[in-house]
């Protein structure tokens, strides 16, 4: 236990130490020179091991339990089986929430912190649809599309696992406090960093390998040329997992990373079926809105425009040659009838569920 919780002792070092000394107790009793004589064990790791103790390990476990969490070690039936298979598998995990989600089939969804309206819409579509199909959505609880993926999965009545780049009890970014608490309650928070540990520059690449490691497939929704989401794709490929990519507009810098992956041969995700077939699942046919017979010609033209994508109220009015006041009245009427939905910033989208009889 104590050796597994020592910072800087990864899987390769752990295995090398056990191969040399036989058991963790003997490792903890080894001298500095004996430790640094082991392949890939350097002075900093040796010093950390020399300072480790069973008492410190017990303190970490106690802090985890005070937060309501659990320490998971390889061999524990609650340890995620897919993470036990990856290179540099974690020696210890800290989890808070519904541990049973760690045993389920998962799909990783990642994307940029800065994203477009298109990226958010695509992310919600995939996360909600895949969650409704029974897959657990894993992501990194970061700003942007990670947060969108978690929220969409939960809003759809599905399940999600958030992999943290810090310890339990540390909420990063602070703006995601409400989401952190919601995932802890309805999903599962997972990290390999001990409670209270703050994130640093090296934390997130290590976190990314766990996001992809939990899942059979990683889906990239929107990514810049040097997006951190691309690190997760690299991790997935190194782990022998599949990576799928949502194509983006060629004019958008937010989609350069995705479109380059597609040029290199990545599988495009053009709809839920492209992802679900990797799991041997079929998407449920989405219910379509039936148009009421009593709509006016103007109302029908508004719905035709929104069928092509979200649009601003003023832009719709301009395209149809009506005043802003007239358009506001039309959109309000359509919204009351459940035919359109308003997004922040006076953006409207056509409803996709059947609410009104024909």
- Can you list the pairs that 179-185 forms with residues at least 24 positions away whose Cβ atoms lie under 8 Å? 179/141, 179/147, 179/150, 179/151, 180/141, 182/154, 183/97, 183/141, 183/150, 183/154, 184/68, 184/96, 184/97, 185/97
Total residue length of the chain: 358
pLDDT at 282: 80
pLDDT digits (tens, 9 = 90+) for 311-328: 999 999 999 999 999 999
Residues 6+ apart with CB under 8 A from 15: none
Give the pLDDT mean for 334-347.
Answer: 87
Determine what percent of the chain is predicted with pLDDT higher than 90: 59
pLDDT at 356: 40
Residues 6+ apart with CB under 8 A from 213: 80, 82, 83, 85, 86, 89, 235, 239, 241
Res. 222: pLDDT tops 50: yes
Res. 77: pLDDT tops 60: yes
User: CB neighbours (10 Å) of residue 237?
Assistant: 14
pLDDT confidence tier of residue 220, bands split at 50, 70 and 90: very high
pLDDT at 27: 58
Res. 350: pLDDT tops 70: yes
The angle formed by the CA atoms of residues 101, 95 and 56, to the nearest 5 degrees, is 155
Q: Which residue has the higher pLDDT, 27 or 272?
A: 272
Q: Is the whole model's pTM more than 0.85, yes or no?
A: no
Res. 260: pLDDT tops 70: yes
pLDDT digits (tens, 9 = 90+) for 140-151: 999 999 999 999
Q: Whose CA is closest to 149, among 214, 205, 219? A: 219
pLDDT at 354: 43
Backbone angles phi, psi at 20, to 5 degrees: -85, -45
Mean pLDDT of all residues belonging to the chain: 87
pLDDT at 23: 66
pLDDT confidence tier of residue 28, bands split at 50, 70 and 90: low
Determine the Cα–Cα distance for residues 310 and 348; give it in Å rounded to an integer: 6
CA 281 to the chain's CA centroid: 20
Domains of the chain, CATH where assigned: 1-52 (1.10.150), 99-279 (3.40.50.450), 297-350 (1.10.10.10)
Query: 90 near 220, Cβ under 8 Å?
Result: no
pLDDT at 245: 95
Q: Which residue has the higher pLDDT, 349 or 136?
A: 136
Which structure tokens are listed for 93? 């995990």
Res. 18: pLDDT tops 80: no
Determine the Cα–Cα distance for residues 139 and 145; give it in Å rounded to an integer: 9
pLDDT confidence tier of residue 357, bands split at 50, 70 and 90: very low
pLDDT digits (tens, 9 = 90+) for 158-207: 999 999 999 999 999 999 999 999 999 999 999 999 999 999 888 898 99
Helix count and strand count (H, E) for the chain = 15, 12
Res. 355: pLDDT tops 50: no
């Amino acid at each position: 236990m104590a050796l597994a919780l020592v910072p800087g002792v990864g899987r390769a070092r752990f295995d090398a130490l056990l191969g040399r000394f036989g058991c963790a107790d003997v490792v903890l009793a080894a001298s500095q020179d004996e430790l640094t004589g082991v392949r890939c064990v350097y002075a900093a790791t040796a010093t950390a091991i020399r300072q480790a103790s069973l008492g410190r390990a017990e303190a970490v476990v106690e802090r985890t339990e005070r937060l309501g969490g659990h320490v998971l070690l390889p061999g524990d039936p609650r340890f995620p089986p897919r993470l036990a298979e990856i290179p540099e598998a974690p020696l210890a995990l800290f989890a808070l929430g519904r541990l049973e989600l760690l045993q389920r089939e998962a799909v990783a969804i990642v994307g940029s912190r800065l994203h477009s309206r298109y990226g958010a819409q695509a992310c919600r579509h995939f996360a909600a649809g895949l969650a409704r199909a029974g897959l657990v959505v894993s992501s990194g609880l970061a700003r942007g599309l990670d947060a969108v993926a978690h929220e969409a999965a939960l809003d759809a009545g599905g399940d999600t696992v958030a992999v943290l780049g810090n310890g339990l009890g540390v909420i990063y970014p602070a703006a995601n406090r409400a989401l952190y608490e919601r995932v802890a309650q309805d999903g599962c928070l997972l990290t390999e960093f001990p409670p209270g540990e703050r994130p640093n520059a090296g934390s997130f690449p290590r976190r990314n390998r766990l996001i992809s490691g939990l899942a059979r497939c990683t889906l990239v929704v929107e990514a810049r040329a040097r997006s951190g989401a691309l690190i997760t794709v690299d991790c997935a490929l190194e782990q022998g997992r599949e990576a799928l990519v949502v194509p983006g507009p060629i004019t958008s810098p937010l989609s350069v990373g995705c479109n380059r992956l597609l040029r290199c041969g990545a599988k495009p995700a053009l709809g839920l079926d492209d992802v679900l077939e990797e799991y041997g699942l079929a998407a449920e046919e989405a219910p379509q809105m039936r148009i009421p017979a009593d709509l006016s010609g103007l109302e029908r033209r508004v719905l035709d425009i929104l069928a092509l994508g979200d649009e601003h109220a003023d832009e719709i009015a301009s395209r149809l040659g009506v005043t802003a006041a007239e358009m506001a009245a039309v959109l309000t009427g359509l919204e009351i009838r459940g035919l359109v939905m308003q997004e922040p910033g006076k953006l409207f989208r056509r409803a996709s569920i059947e609410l009104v009889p024909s």
